[in-house]
Amino acid sequence: MAEPRNASILIFDSGIGGLSVLKEMRIILPSMRYIYVADDAAFPYGAWEEQELLERMTKLFAALIERHNPGMIVIGCNTASTLAIHHLRKVYPDQIFVGTVPAIKPAAERTHSGLVSVLATPGTVRRQYTRDLIKQYASKCHVRLVGSENLAQLAETYMRTGFVDEAAVKTEAELCFVEQDGKRTDIVVLACTHYPFLVNRLRKTAPWPVDWIDTCEAIARRAVSLASDLTFKPRDAALPDIALFTSNQVSKEIQRLVVGFGLIGTAYP
Ligand code: DGL
């Protein structure tokens, strides 16, 4: 029988986006310890070249696995998962990885008009992984991929300072709204974990109502289903839930933000 694993889940993102995943995870897996890692020194991931980012992530994970040996790893980032999940599983076969990929399948199943948009970082829009999902699950739909340069940063600013530039949010999402042959886009997939934090502003500035779909809850459910096949040690009550930032800059704002999510900002790694 396999050795029991540490009762900890490491959630990884380029910034604060994975906190939207953490929120869901806590609801359905409350007994685990959470280690949140933001590679903020490299934010935004959406702008990186694939090879360089893959190398960076592979090195980061070597350090994180050695230091924390988590029971499970959730890549709470579409840009990172669509690039690196297969590779990381190969390089670290003893780890259990849960990825985050654009919710194209549920969108294709739910759309009435057949017009679906995927709002994501430029990196996720470029990925073959994303195009394969469309081919596999949404070949009967008209899928528009919209790469947003600034929305993840707008979400970072909002979460850190409370300020949101609504006009800029509107501009970033504008291309998602398509009218064609008397039909309109009825679903927009939020394919970046930063975006759910801006969903109210997206809703408010949209030219017509649509369904905004994200994957946070589905990821948490996937983690639960994997966890049910594993054995975990009892959680060590002395170890708190923590947040690590690769920049090692944990400002007052950041500390306040992560405390709101039940984490303590501490030194990386
Ligand atoms: N949160 C990340 C995602 O889900 C992207 C943000 C970035 O560009 O770093 O895609």
Question: Among candidates 192, 185, 230, 166, which has minimal Cα distance to 81?
Answer: 192
Residue 204 domain-assigned (yes or no): yes
Cα–Cα dist 197/34, whole Å: 20
User: Cis link prior to 207 (omega < 30° from 0)?
Assistant: no
- What 3-state class would DSSP assign to 10? strand
Given a cut of 90, is residue 128 above it in pLDDT?
yes
Instruction: Quick: pLDDT tens for 12-52.
Output: 999 999 999 999 999 999 999 999 999 999 999 999 999 99
141 given a catalytic annotation = no
Task: Map tokens 């948490």 to a residue.
Answer: 220
The pLDDT of residue 182 is 97
Domain boundary among 194, 214, 234: 214
pLDDT in tens, 193-217: 999 999 999 999 999 999 999 999 9
192 is catalytic: yes
Handedness of CA 193, 194, 199, 202 (dihedral sign): negative
Q: Is the CB of 79 under 6 A from ligand 1?
A: yes
Tokens of 35: 């280690």
Give me the mean pLDDT over the 108-137 stretch: 97
Given a cut of 90, whether residue 151 has pLDDT beyond it is yes
Residues 72 and 197 both lie in one domain: no
91 located within any domain: yes
pLDDT of residue 73: 98
Domain that holds residue 123: 104-214
pLDDT for res 2: 79
Contacts of 112 (CB under 8 A, 6+ apart): 186
Counting from 1 in the atom list of ligand 1, the atom nearest the Cα of 100 is 4
Residue 184 is assigned to a structural domain of this protein: yes
The answer to whether residue 66 sits within a structural domain is: yes
- Could you tell me if the CB of 158 is within 6 A of ligand 1? no
Any ligand 1 atom below 6 A from CB of 196: no
Residue 17 alpha carbon to ligand 1 centre in Å: 7
Please report the atom of ligand 1 found closest to the CA of residue 14: 9
Residue 177: CATH number of its domain? 3.40.50.1860
**Residues 6 or more apart from 30 whose CB is under 8 A from it?**
none
φ and ψ of 109, to 5 deg: -75, -30
Beta-sheet strands, E only, within the chain:
8-13, 33-38, 72-75, 97-98, 115-120, 142-147, 179-180, 183-184, 187-190, 211-213, 242-245, 264-266
What is the pLDDT, as a whole number, of residue 97?
98
Domains held by the chain: number: 2
Distance 32 CA to ligand 1 centre (A): 25
Specify the pLDDT at position 28. 93
Give 259's pLDDT tier (boundaries 50, 70, 90): very high
Q: State residue 173's pLDDT score.
A: 98
Annotated binding-site residue numbers for substrate: 13-14, 45-46, 78-79, 193-194
As a whole number of angstroms, the distance between CA 84 and CA 51 comes to 10
* Dist. CA 155 → ligand 1 center (Å): 10
Q: How does the average pLDDT of the chain come out, rounded?
A: 96
The residue annotated as part of the active site, out of 141, 176, 192, 216, is 192
2 located within any domain: no
In a domain, 3, yes or no: no
Question: Is the pTM of the predicted complex or chain greater than 0.85?
Answer: yes
Task: Give the whole-angstrom CA distance, residue 197 versus residue 76.
Answer: 14
SS3 158: helix
For the chain, percent of residues with pLDDT exceeding 90: 98
Shared domain for 175 and 131, answered yes or no, is yes
pLDDT of 1 above 90 = no
Burial letters 6-26, b for 16+ CB under 10 A, else e: bbbbbbbbbbbbbbbbbebbb
pLDDT confidence of 60, banded at 50, 70, 90? very high
Same domain, 63 and 138: no
Q: What DSSP letter does each residue of 172-191 carry, written as one string?
A: HHGGG--EETTEE--EEEE-
Do both 117 and 145 map to the same domain?
A: yes
Please, what's the b/e burial string for 148-179 (b: 16 or more CB within 10 A of its CB; e: otherwise)?
beebbbbbbebbeeeebeeebbeebbeebbee
pLDDT tops 90 at residue 179: yes
Of the residues 101, 150, 194, which should be mutated to test ligand 1's pocket, given the most ligand atoms within 8 Å of the CB? Answer: 194
- The count of other CB atoms within 10 Å of the CB of residue 110 is 13
